[in-house]
Amino acid sequence: MRWFFLRALAITLLPLCALPALRAAVVEGVVLDEETGNPLARTQVSLVPLPGTPASSTPVRTGPRGSFVILSVMPGWYTLRATRRGYAPAESGQLRPGRPGHAFEVADDHTTGFLEIKMSHLPAITGAVFDENGVGIAKWQVHVYSSGKPVRHIAQVLTDERGNYRVGELDPGTYLVRSGPGQLDDHTPVLATYAKAAIELADATAVSLRVGETKPNVNIKPVKGRFFTLSGTLIPIPDRTATLTLITDTGRKEIASAYSKPLPFSTAGVQPGPVELIVKGFDTLGNECGSYTKLLVDKDKDNLKLACSPYGPASFTFSGATPTGPVVIRRVDLDGAAEEHALKRNELLAPGHWEIQIPPGDYYISSVRNSGTLATRAGAWWGFDAGTYTRVAILLSSSPASIAGVVTTGGNPVAGAPIFLTNLGTGQAWTGRANPQGHYSMGGLAPGNYSIISGFDLDPNDLANAQKLSTVSTSEGNTSTQPLELVLP
């Protein structure tokens, strides 16, 4: 009986033993510093599937020697991307830092070979702030702004004991550098000044940065000038405290705090240009109150009356379609943008300037209005001023346009070809990838005119590339077909 049982078991297991052992595909490699060749430990590496590959993105971290292994990879086409603080994102197979990498195929039961990703530092700007004799000014503020409109505050640092400064971890792009306002040791007033010695934005010298580049000798000589005074009355809620904050594009400071009764205030040393005055406090029930005033300072201003006014929850309504994910919101003051976060239901928005971003989907954003006033637009962000009652209405069209086609080179399709799309009216830009057969599709677009191009080594500052752009017009609910020839280095 026992012999019969063992024989039956052996017969049952025989087909399984006869099958070849299945081994899942593996992706492995190393991440290195482009400049030194040193391995980069603790770097996040993500295996990202191309459209058409039924897999999700797989993140791992490199080990102490910069190596990584990704197990149990499904067959298909992928790109490999590395991210690390202080470095520009990098991809395997990229032709140079900051460029998209090449896609590769993962097949059953084998490794892809040992992949190498080289990462370059994010750009930086260095220079000095000098007085009229070319001597460095110690512990002086230096600010960096985006050069595109609207101009945005990006970063700030202090000069060292010799007047030198360095601003790092900047994205590739074009920037403006400006010293802050203040007084020299003998109380001589100097204005906030753009590099190299400009007061007006129109006279500022822009600084262009590439991945891995440090731009030296961006020096500033602050210009002497006159400041102005703002004065008036801060009006709190009875039996409650209110504070008044002055915000400029070089920083902010609290200039008054009043309890229960109106309080006169005065602040000197205000540089010519735009300023924001923010009042914050509480009413008798403990609810938030506040106000927001924007001024263009070109002379002394007095008799300002700034009150702490009650305000209620903001209302956001959508029509035409439903967003596919959370709406993101952030406050943007003259001295920069606050941390973005997901919009909460009935969220209290303090008076001031806010921006929202609606997630992409099978729709396009037709309009954003606050109490009937059309919101401003900067790329994917829509801006509006919150006040006592904020009522934002977002109209989404469920009939978006799309652009599709095939990327080829020499008549052959290019797997994973990078796609760069820009709305010529708004400046909003998108990136995408073709599938393994070279097909691409960019959806959720508003009707309008777009430029589109594909390439692995496109320099946005190269005017020759502008001549290779294709221009496409889209209409609501329709797909525009645009074949693309891969732009070669």
Domain ranges of the chain: 25-119, 124-215, 228-310, 315-397, 401-485
Name beta bridge partners: 228. Answer: 270
Radius of gyration, CA atoms only, the chain: 29
pLDDT for position 461:
66
To which residue do tokens 């006169």 refer? 264
Stretch 180-208: mean pLDDT, rounded? 93
pLDDT for position 489:
79
pTM of the entire structure?
0.85
Both structure tokens of 373 = 């006033």
Cα separation, 91 vs 71, in Å, equals 19
Both structure tokens of 465 = 């590339």
CB distance 196 to 219 below 8 Å: yes
Given a cut of 70, is residue 20 above it in pLDDT? no
Among 142, 99, 98, which residue's Cα sits nearest to residue 123? Answer: 98
Q: If you classify domain 124-215 with CATH, what class do you get?
A: mainly beta
- Give the DSSP H/E element, type plus range, for residue 288: strand 288-297
Name the CATH superfamily, with its identifier, for domain 25-119: Carboxypeptidase-like, regulatory domain (2.60.40.1120)
Cα separation, 283 vs 286, in Å, equals 5
pLDDT for position 16:
40
CATH tag for 228-310 (out of 3.30.1020.10, 1.10.10.10, 3.40.50.920, 2.60.40.180): 2.60.40.180
Name the average pLDDT for the chain. Answer: 92
pLDDT for position 19:
41
pLDDT digits (tens, 9 = 90+) for 373-422: 999 998 899 999 999 889 999 999 999 999 999 999 999 999 999 999 99
CB distance 479 to 402 below 8 Å: yes
- Amino acid at position 107, single letter: A
CATH tag for 401-485 (out of 3.90.950.10, 3.40.50.10420, 2.60.40.10, 3.40.50.2000): 2.60.40.10
